[in-house]
Amino acid sequence: MSETLISMKDVSKSFKSKHVLKGLNFDLPKGSVVGLLGKNGAGKTTLIKCALGLLRPQSGTITVFGEEVWDLSDDAKGRLGYVPQTSSFYHWMKVGDVINYTASFYPKWNHELVNHLLDEWEFTRKEKTVLLSEGQAQQLST
């Protein structure tokens, strides 16, 4: 039997009077590849944010790696990654600030790889994030 990575049971999420997710049931088994298709406003991003514990649904239960999404262990959080469609940083932040902040969440952070990517992408740690293009901001968010 395969391990279920994400399980959503009777999940509902609304924004004011707009129902975005309504009684959603979804299981993502280990080794699966899934594409979320739908028109703008269909709930794709809301589903992902709820699955990662970034948004709280009004009802239902969500587990990730068998753990309640709102009480994920540090080990479970370390196994997750999320790159938003658009990145937003505080206007005062520099590339180095974003890297240091993000690294603080991951005990196994690979500083050598980050330095390699900074060189490859031609970033400097002192570069202000507000001056990055949208594509560069996405690279920094990975």
Rg over CA atoms, the chain: 17
Residues in the chain, pLDDT under 70: 1-2, 142
Q: Give the chain's domains with CATH numbers.
A: 4-78 (3.40.50.300), 95-141 (no CATH)
pLDDT at 2: 52
pLDDT at 79: 85
- Across 112-140, b (16+ Cβ under 10 Å) vs e yields eeeeeebeeeebeeebebeebeeebbebb
For residue 103, the model assigns a pLDDT of: 87
pLDDT at 1: 41
| CA distances, 121 to each of 50, 87, 90, 102 (Å) | 31, 17, 21, 18
Please tell me the distance from the alpha carbon of residue 14 to that of residue 2, in angstroms, as a whole number.
32
**What pLDDT score does 41 carry?**
84
Q: Which residue has the tokens 């999940």?
A: 11
